[in-house]
Amino acid sequence: MQRREGLAKLTGRERYVDDLPLEGALWGMTVRSPAPRGRVSAVRFRPDVNWSEIVVVDYRDVPTANEILLIERDQPVLAAGYVRHVHEAVLLVAHPSREMARRAARAVDVVVAPEPPALDFRAPPRPEQIQFGRDNVLKRLQIAKGDVEQALARAPVVVEGVYETGAQEHVYLETQGMIAWLENDVLVVKGSMQCPYYVLNALQHALGRDERRVRVIQTPTGGGFGGKEEYPSTIALHAALLALKAGRPVKMVYDRPEDMASTTKRHPSLVRHRTALTTDGRLLAQDIEVVLDGGAYVTLSPVVLSRGIIHAAGPYACDNVRIVGRAMFTNAVPFGAFRGFGAPQTLFALERHMDVIARALGLDPVELRRRNLLRDGQSTATGQVIRDGTDRIAVLERALALSGYREKQHSHAAFNAAQRSQRRGIGLATFYHGAGFTGGGEVHLNSRLQVAGLPDGRVEVLSANIEMGQGTLTVFTQIVADRLGLAPEEVVIGEPDTARVPNSGPTVASRTTMVVGRLIERAADDLRHRVGLDDRARGAAVKDAIMRWHREHRGEPLLGEAVYERPPGIAWDEERYQGDAYAAFAWAAYVAEVEVDLRTCTTRVIDFVAVQEVGKVINPTLARGQVQGGVVQGLGWALMEECKVENGAMINNQLTNYIIPTSDDVPPIRVAFVENPYPHGAQGAKGLGELPIDGPAPAILNAVAAATGADPRAIPLTAERLMEIVERTH
Amino acid sequence: MRVLLADRVPEALGLLAGDGAAIPVAGGTDLLVHWPVRIDAHDRTYVDLSRLEDLKPLRWSDRELVLGGLTTYWDVIQDERIGREFPLLVRAARQVGAIQIQARGTWAGNIVNASPAADGVPVLMAYDAVVVLESGRGREEVPLDHFYTGYKEMRRRADQLVVAIRIPRRPYSYQVFEKVGSRRAQAIAKVGLAVTRSDAGWRVVAASMAPTIRRCPMLERLLEQRVQVAHPGDLVPAITQDVSPIDDVRSTAEYRRRVMARVLYDDLRETCGWP
Ligand SMILES: Cc1cc2nc3c(=O)[nH]c(=O)nc-3n(C[C@H](O)[C@H](O)[C@H](O)COP(=O)(O)OP(=O)(O)OC[C@H]3O[C@@H](n4cnc5c(N)ncnc54)[C@H](O)[C@@H]3O)c2cc1C
């Protein structure tokens, strides 16, 4: 099936928020904090701008609550006399000319009386740096299974390791953007976002408007990767405040440097492992400590930490597991949602650690994993018994066969002996990713979705889930068309507009196809029932029945509906952090082959194999695209993407110096799927979107370790870092 | 923003002389970077060179290759004869940005932009290129290896245009260009090297290793004197005298020094008979 919005994107006709005409609009710009922490002692307006032409908004203009509604309410819409991170929004300005608005923003001096910032999440804070609770810990979580201390004390072998990952920028092609205006008394906010209802809730909360007086509409979104999960609430509030004060439409679109410097990034992490094993490599105990840098506000750190620790012990059977996690307050720009949501960090540590263990025990890394991979009937760290019928060892074997793993190990040995400065190596990672919200999250979301029958016999999906390049429009179309026996053209996907669509939950957490897709199937069934048909009715019968219904009920809406239902047999104990953390896991084995140039310590990934079990693959092209994109993004995170920070501010906030892979840096990526349909996902699908970013970094670093004999433990493994490590090794 | 258009070189020179602060624009691939946020740049006056047909073609004579003031990387890539006689020009051109930049970016723009990390300048310098400057007051020629006087400082007055780049034709017995970037394309050099050998002697030019791109006299002397080098580390004393790399947003001084030594050693090993 052709991608629904493909032609519009290919021909440049798709209209993103910045392309929308907006009569009489003002351009909004943000004045930001120059310092990581302190009291705002003065805000000065320099006279080189005619301030009578400029609309100015500060925290006093927030009508109801100066809070960005999220898990906590600690983050102000605009700083009220105190700043907690560099680039925190202090003031907003607007003018009909973008250039004048920019000049005005530059002509404001925010003077901050500095106080000692906490800038290193790894170091215990000094008393004068404490700004959250007693110890700057934003959130603590713990998982316990068995008796770790006893197992460690008795074990024949204990291997320890410390692993670190850096921040990562989303680099969505379309930067953050929002427009806002008043339509009579209704505030309309339109823009680039993943979660229209998050934005709606945030607007209602801060502006004191009930849902009839606010309306949020998603525009075609040029990439998100989590960066448009929670952040759009902020820019939406800013655009709305300016529009309300000016009484005119307002448009805010960040340019790249502003977007990179002031919006969220992936949480940096530090993970410690202490692992007890038998001499032949069976896991006896995993003792894991996870520390995340949360930044200056809570944002989503508690749930990122949650997913992080749940994935930290990996897809292995181990009777004794202890995982303690904490997210630290620092005066960094707040970290936020990013594809994988904590799991890539902890899985990097774990899968690198598995190779460190293998080396310590003189075992083959493949064998070590084969011995410990979960078999059906065994349980994860939270005690979730896995019984999905997937053969995880077969997934691994497939990856080994596709990559020619054994043959390459031999040919590399010969190559490395013959070459002066080139070294080749191969490495792997076996991992999993839980789909949908963690624990009871999906139950709390209580997602609702409708499928409408239109008078002309077509059907329309009414959902709050959005297209951001990943293929929602196409897959939703396929799901309805298949369910009702319709042609793709007979399916309409409604615009995500909170005035029209029910809250089917956020477009995050690899939940859209699996969870929301399943709601679509059930709502389609409900629609069929409402027009007097049973589940076998398809095609013309459905269309005719819909048209007949409309002739008999003129002017009335025909809506099939579904509300989330927890799959049977799933239970989660939030207090003890035990039970079924996810309704379903996707499983994977990735293999990377690298070539390292010892002169420059540059690492080039020369081959990549990605094998995964994701239930049923609904659209092979899109699924392959998700995997390839995840691998590229993972490669960047592993080898080159580095947020360089000085006194709490990113200094390489432009694409010249924030290095992401080009097409020439990307190896052939061979993707294979093992299918094992999941009974509670649409057509048997499980979540896929995030899985592919979990595996590349550890697989690539394991390959570098194999190639060079070095033992890298932190990413990004830039050439400069690898050179230091190689120098130390030799 | 004020843009002045000129159809002929004298007219352009007149505009530059008339408005002391006017800035020539060739491909614009340096001048327009981050344009929307560089508000101060919007208030300046620019002279668009794109219609100056006289500056476009490159010319060959018996003794030299002459690039025009508007010759692009793409023009050079397309010229088979340059590929044969001055292969480093083509090699460097192919590593500038990607095809869009290669098609717009000019050699003269690369010289006057004066980035210490430029790719065009080191190969030109290794071929003893001479910069031909012209203003209403006449012509002047400055050898490229004497052109830069400090970081982004050079022997060019604001009213002068680069109208040509002269490159003497000589047989080369050795020539290599190396660009070490942080990815395989669209990268700014962390270490750049151009090395040639002809009857005129060795030329070793380093980029991203000092405030300006520059020749390395100690290394050149070491090569002229056929000093035996057993190991990349043996090159470090000369490198330390020739260049002064720094830690910056792209790399570290230590990394740059080490890589320069290793790459030079590895490249020259066979030619120089080093172990
Ligand atoms: C995406 C991208 C990638 C890039 N990659 C590389 C790279 O890999 N390597 C590299 O070296 N550079 C790179 N650059 C920089 C740039 O493309 C080159 O420096 C190019 O040669 C500049 O030429 P131009 O004609 O575009 O110069 P312009 O931007 O037009 O001008 C640059 C400077 O030269 C002056 N000038 C131009 N022509 C003349 C003249 N005839 N006489 C006097 N002054 C003149 C201008 O006033 C200005 O100061 C890249 C740029 C971009 C945007």
Q: What is the pLDDT of residues B141-191, one digit of tens each?
A: 999 999 999 999 999 999 999 999 999 999 999 999 999 999 999 999 999
For A312, the token pair is: 């930290």
Does residue A718 belong to the interface with chain B, where contact is any CB pair within 8 Å? yes
% of chain B exceeding 70 in pLDDT: 100
**Centroid of ligand 1 to alpha carbon of B79 (angstroms):** 20
pLDDT above 80 for B20: no
Considering the domain architecture, whether residues A83 and A203 belong to the same structural domain is answered as yes
Min Cα–Cα distance to chain A from B71, Å:
25
Tell me if A641 is assigned to some domain. Answer: yes
Q: Which residues from chain A sit within 8 angstroms of residue B258, using beta carbons?
A: 723
Q: What is the pLDDT of residues A494-508, one digit of tens each?
A: 999 999 999 999 999
Considering the domain architecture, whether residues A335 and A466 belong to the same structural domain is answered as no
Residues 6 or more apart whose CB falls under 8 angstroms from that of A409 comprise A426
Considering the domain architecture, whether residues A35 and A176 belong to the same structural domain is answered as yes
Q: What is the pLDDT of residues B204-217, one digit of tens each?
A: 999 999 999 999 99
Q: What is the pLDDT of residue A322?
A: 98
Contact B161, B134 (CB under 8 A): yes
Q: What is the pLDDT of residue B37?
A: 86
Residues 6 or more apart whose CB falls under 8 angstroms from that of A592 comprise A426, A427, A428, A605, A607, A608, A696, A699, A700, A702, A703
CA nearest to A54, candidates A27, A81, A84: A27
Tell me if A126 is assigned to some domain. Answer: no
Q: What is the pLDDT of residue B1?
A: 87
**Which residues partner with A450 through β-bridges?**
A462, A561
Q: What is the CATH number of the domain that holds A501?
A: 3.30.365.10
Q: What is the pLDDT of residue A729?
A: 85
In sign, the C-alpha dihedral spanning A509, A514, A519, A520 is: positive
- Specify burial of residue A624 (Cβ count, 10 A radius: 0-12, 13-18, 19+): middle
Verify whether ligand 1 is closer than 6 Å to residue B103 (CB atom): no
pTM of the full structure: 0.98
Asked if CATH classification 3.30.390.50 holds for the domain at B172-272, the reply, yes or no, is: yes
Q: Which residues from chain B sit within 8 angstroms of residue A253, using beta carbons?
A: none
Best B100, B179, B231, B262 residue to mutate vs chain A (most A CBs within 10 Å):
B262
Domain closes at, from A262, A278, A310 = A262
pLDDT, average across residues B239-252: 97
Closest in B250, B255, B266 to A421, CB measured:
B266
Considering the domain architecture, whether residues A656 and A668 belong to the same structural domain is answered as yes
Q: How confident is the model at residue B36 (pLDDT cuts 50, 70, 90)?
A: confident
Residue type, B108: A
Considering the domain architecture, whether residues A393 and A336 belong to the same structural domain is answered as yes
pLDDT above 80 for A312: yes
- Specify burial of residue A116 (Cβ count, 10 A radius: 0-12, 13-18, 19+): middle
Tell me if A505 is assigned to some domain. Answer: yes
To test the pocket of ligand 1, the residue of B9, B101, B190 to mutate (highest count of ligand atoms within 8 Å of its CB) is B101
Considering the domain architecture, whether residues A55 and A188 belong to the same structural domain is answered as yes
- Contact flag B182-A718 (C-beta cutoff 8 Å): yes
% of chain A exceeding 90 in pLDDT: 99
Closest in A102, A600, A644 to B263, CB measured:
A600
Residues 6 or more apart whose CB falls under 8 angstroms from that of A723 comprise A601, B255, B258, B259
pLDDT, average across residues A33-42: 98
Report the C-alpha gap between A400 and A691 in whole angstroms. 19
For A247, the token pair is: 């009484």
Assign A444 to helix, strand or coil.
helix
Q: What is the pLDDT of residues A284-302, one digit of tens each?
A: 999 999 999 999 999 999 9
Q: What is the pLDDT of residues B37-57, one digit of tens each?
A: 898 999 999 999 999 999 999
CA nearest to A590, candidates A378, A426, A364, A729: A426
Considering the domain architecture, whether residues A671 and A546 belong to the same structural domain is answered as no
pLDDT, average across residues A548-563: 98
Q: Which residues from chain B sit within 8 angstroms of residue A665, using beta carbons?
A: 183-185
Residues 6 or more apart whose CB falls under 8 angstroms from that of A480 comprise A451, A459, A461, A486, A491, A520, A524
**Centroid of ligand 1 to alpha carbon of B142 (angstroms):** 19
Q: How confident is the model at residue A219 (pLDDT cuts 50, 70, 90)?
A: very high
pLDDT, average across residues A88-102: 97
Q: What is the pLDDT of residue A350?
A: 98
Q: What is the pLDDT of residues A115-164, one digit of tens each?
A: 999 999 999 999 999 999 999 999 999 999 999 999 999 999 999 999 99
Verify whether ligand 1 is closer than 6 Å to residue B68 (CB atom): no
Task: Residue A182: give the domain boundaries.
Answer: 18-115+170-262
Q: Strand ranges (DSSP E) for chain B?
A: 2-5, 23-25, 45-48, 59-60, 64-68, 130-135, 138-143, 148-150, 153-154, 161-168, 172-180, 191-198, 201-207, 214-215
Considering the domain architecture, whether residues A68 and A191 belong to the same structural domain is answered as yes
Considering the domain architecture, whether residues A252 and A273 belong to the same structural domain is answered as no
To test the pocket of ligand 1, the residue of B30, B52, B190 to mutate (highest count of ligand atoms within 8 Å of its CB) is B30
For B172, the token pair is: 């080369």
**Centroid of ligand 1 to alpha carbon of A461 (angstroms):** 51
Tokens 């344009």 belong to which residue?
A: B35
Considering the domain architecture, whether residues A248 and A294 belong to the same structural domain is answered as no
Mean pLDDT of all residues belonging to chain A: 97
- Please give the tally of structural domains in chain A: 3
For B99, the token pair is: 């095809």
CB-defined contacts A:B, below 8 A: 65
Considering the domain architecture, whether residues A509 and A596 belong to the same structural domain is answered as no
Sheet holding A459-462, edge to edge: A491-493, A459-462, A448-453, A558-563
Q: What is the pLDDT of residue A38?
A: 98
Considering the domain architecture, whether residues A397 and A450 belong to the same structural domain is answered as no
Q: How confident is the model at residue A387 (pLDDT cuts 50, 70, 90)?
A: very high
- Helix residue spans in A428-539 (DSSP H): 441-445, 472-484, 517-530
pLDDT, average across residues A403-415: 98
Verify whether ligand 1 is closer than 6 Å to residue B154 (CB atom): no
Tell me if A156 is assigned to some domain. Answer: no
CA nearest to A678, candidates A582, A610, A579: A582
Does residue A708 belong to the interface with chain B, where contact is any CB pair within 8 Å? no
Break chain B into its structural domains and give their ranges. Answer: 172-272
pLDDT above 90 for A177: yes
Q: What is the pLDDT of residue A592?
A: 99
